[in-house]
Structure 1
Amino acid sequence: MSDKANIPKVSAVIRAFNEGQHIGRLLKGLELQTVKPHEVVLVDSGSTDDTVAIAEAAGCVIVRIAKNEFSFGRALNRGCEAASGDILLFASAHVYPVYDTYVEHLTNAFRRPGVAIAYGRQVGDERTKFSESRVMLKWFPTDNIWDQSHPFSNNANAAVLKTLWETSPYDESLTGLEDLDFAQKALSRGHKIAYVADAPVVHVHEESWGVTRNRYRREAIAYARIVDDSKMSLSRALGLAVSNIAGDYLDAAKAKRLRGNLLGIPAFRSAQFIGAWEGFRQPANVSARLLERFYYPAEAQKVPAPIAPGRKIVYSEDISFGV
């Protein structure tokens, strides 16, 4: 385990809306870390369930934002404004850390010269759709990358230096991918991005077809704004959908999971690429490297279990902090 002397102060910032089913597990995971956040800031956009009550019972700082004011960038900016740490750690309300060294590994990336953004690995659990697990495999490989050359990042599991955020807050007008936009601007200023595979979280997505389609649609709209002259033709969307479905079927067959995913695989991929095509219709070539990262099939391989130095956290089924 690394030397924890001189660790900068860490503020965790969580965006949430009706996450009462999931947020307790994340907060428990943060509580059990070898390097604990100095504070946890919850930015709530109008939850009607027990999200805020659970967070208050766990000692979180609560920041409220009206639903009609919400954007992903604005919610992050409000949380960052309220945070006092030197490092701002971002976590989706429906992720939870795999190991007790998650915060330690993620924040240690900033000891490397020039690193101003670090993001960690994401994996699924038993609830994750098979196709989405392959998306995660493509986006979040198993090896650390300490000086990433492209601006991919993901704020479901990431950290940034507060000084960087102070000089360049998140774009509040984007419909998604505010993390990609932020990372692109940081790279252009000479900062480095680190990918920390040793800091995995489980990312829980239990979305309907329509919600999945809308997620990819708004992310494509944002991508088209961030990357000049971006678009995706219908023929390209269809080709990518077919190649991803074929790859998913092949991997599912190898894993002996094909029977249970015969319908789920094309359902997820159709939502993904219909949404992406719709989003790209507004604005000719998408940046080839990022397009590959976002949409091309993962290489056929067995999804490895996330292994990192640290003690695996054992979660109970119901974590409520006494609420």
Structure 2
Amino acid sequence: MKISIIIRSYNEEEHIAKLLSGIAAQTIKDIEIIVVDSGSTDATLSIASQYPVRILLIPKEDFSFGRSLNIGCKAATGDLIVLASAHVYPVYKDWVENLIKPFDDPKVALVYGKQRGGETTKYSEEQIFKKWFPENSGSRQIHPFCNNANAVIRRELWEQMPYDETLTGLEDLDWAKRAVQMGYRIAYSNKAEVKHVHNESLSNIYNRYRREAIALKTIYPHERFNSWDFLRLLFINSLSDYYASIVGRVFWRNIFNICGFRLMQFWGTYRGYSQRTEISSQLRRKFYYPGGAKVSKGQQSESHPQRRIEYGKALAEPEAESSSRAQKRISIGANL
């Protein structure tokens, strides 16, 4: 089966080279790589152009998570389409190999892989990663949870049901829910691990959970999140994080960022569920391009060292684009 990888990018000059280098180191070769960029103003495109990739450009004002995926999937030629955030990178050389293994079962529609944070990841977010992406692949998954920062889907199934371009987030959950309703399965691979390396400000954490809550209301219209849910979940999750930090002897290091993260997480969720009016174009821009988000290099774990990708301590500065590289860019008009 032919494999394509779609990478959504926006101002990812600090990370995209590491991801592309990790793809080049995979045990599976001859992978088609498509970068869908939504208006980067830094060196992202110059760096990406140094690798064997196709670059699709979409106007910033036309961006949504689902739209960028649909554009990438339409351009892809692979039977299986790997979806990756531009600020993740694979830990092992058999990342893609392990990610696609569950597709031996024809009823599997989507596989998502393990994620861990980097050294600057907020403590509470690392606890979320451990909960959402456990160490063991476990038993048959009956719910539609997944995450498109590290996932793979069947192209033929995407052709039947493209991503919802109107959602402000969670387009992966919506797609997986529809796949499950059609009788397909969602699988998890604990061996297909990536490092998810970002460091959000408190306002960006709030912004992310707010837009995801707005999307979740659309996907599950009967779900509710009231002020009692806000207080209850804030207390329970903060207490759990503080207990874990005490056991791990990192309490004082995280005493403030735990309460800050959890407060923004659940306040953003509450505000998203409380949204009653239509989302303005200004609010959409805030959701998709919030500004202030900082990303940092990740920290790797030490399991399976023989298959680990040895990333260099420093990546070369991007060269000026040649005319042949520039030709690989395709501008996607608003009418597509």
Q: State the percentage of identical aligned residues.
A: 46
CA–CA separation in structure 1 for the residues paired with 2:306 and 2:103 = 19
Partner of 2:308: 312
Q: What is the aligned length? A: 296
Matches within 5 A, 1:125-140: 125-140=118-133
CA–CA separation in structure 1 for the residues paired with 2:50 and 2:154 = 28
Q: Residue 224 of structure 1 contacts residue 280 of structure 1 at CA under 8 Å; is this kept in 2?
A: yes
Is 1:67 the counterpart of 2:89? The answer is no
Partner of 1:3: none
Letter in 1 for 2:174: D
Is 1:115 the counterpart of 2:108? The answer is yes
List alignment gaps of at least 5 residues for structure 1: 1-7, 284-303
User: How far does the alpha carbon of each residue in 1:220-266 deviate from its partner, in whole angstroms, 9 at most, with x for none?
Assistant: 11011001211201111111011111111111111111111111110
Letter in 2 for 1:220: A
User: Per the alignment, in what secondary structure is the counterpart of residue 116 of structure 1?
Assistant: strand
Residue of structure 2 aligned with 1:273, choices 248, 266, 272: 266
* Displacement of 1:68: 0.4
Partner of 1:153: 146
Partner of 1:189: 182
CA–CA separation in structure 1 for the residues paired with 2:194 and 2:163 = 23
CA–CA separation in structure 2 for the residues paired with 1:241 and 1:94 = 28
User: Per the alignment, in what secondary structure is the counterpart of residue 263 of structure 1?
Assistant: helix
Q: Residue 24 of structure 1 contacts residue 321 of structure 1 at CA under 8 Å; is this kept in 2?
A: no
User: How far does the alpha carbon of each residue in 1:265-309 deviate from its partner, in whole angstroms, 9 at most, with x for none?
Assistant: 1011111011011111247xxxxxxxxxxxxxxxxxxxx958469
TM-score in terms of structure 1 length: 0.88
User: How far does the alpha carbon of each residue in 1:175-220 deviate from its partner, in whole angstroms, 9 at most, with x for none?
Assistant: 0000000000000001111111110100012111111100000001
User: How far does the alpha carbon of each residue in 1:31-75 deviate from its partner, in whole angstroms, 9 at most, with x for none?
Assistant: 100013521100000000011111111121000111100000000
User: Per the alignment, in what secondary structure is the counterpart of residue 53 of structure 1?
Assistant: helix
CA–CA separation in structure 2 for the residues paired with 1:254 and 1:203 = 24
CA–CA separation in structure 2 for the residues paired with 1:37 and 1:243 = 47
Letter in 2 for 1:112: D
Matches within 5 A, 1:202-213: 202-213=195-206
Q: CA RMSD in A?
A: 1.7
Q: Residue 114 of structure 2 contacts residue 189 of structure 2 at CA under 8 Å; is this kept in 1?
A: yes
Is 1:178 the counterpart of 2:171? The answer is yes
TM-score in terms of structure 2 length: 0.85
Letter in 1 for 2:314: D
CA–CA separation in structure 2 for the residues paired with 1:309 and 1:161 = 30
CA–CA separation in structure 2 for the residues paired with 1:186 and 1:76 = 16
Residue of structure 1 aligned with 2:252, choices 246, 259, 271: 259
Letter in 2 for 1:200: E
* Displacement of 1:143: 1.2
CA–CA separation in structure 1 for the residues paired with 2:118 and 2:16 = 16
Q: Residue 58 of structure 1 contacts residue 321 of structure 1 at CA under 8 Å; is this kept in 2?
A: no
Q: Residue 89 of structure 2 contacts residue 196 of structure 2 at CA under 8 Å; is this kept in 1?
A: yes
Letter in 1 for 2:308: K
Residue of structure 1 aligned with 2:82, choices 62, 71, 89: 89
* Greater RCO (Cα-Cα under 8 Å, separation 6 or more): 2
Q: Residue 16 of structure 1 contacts residue 47 of structure 1 at CA under 8 Å; is this kept in 2?
A: yes
Q: Residue 95 of structure 1 contacts residue 156 of structure 1 at CA under 8 Å; is this kept in 2?
A: yes
Q: 1:322 to 1:206 in 2, by over 3 A?
A: same
Q: 1:309 to 1:257 in 2, by over 3 A?
A: closer
**Most deviating of 200-209 and 11-20:** 200-209
Partner of 2:17: 24
CA–CA separation in structure 2 for the residues paired with 1:215 and 1:233 = 18
Q: Residue 6 of structure 2 contacts residue 82 of structure 2 at CA under 8 Å; is this kept in 1?
A: yes
Q: 1:14 to 1:28 in 2, by over 3 A?
A: same
Partner of 2:228: 235
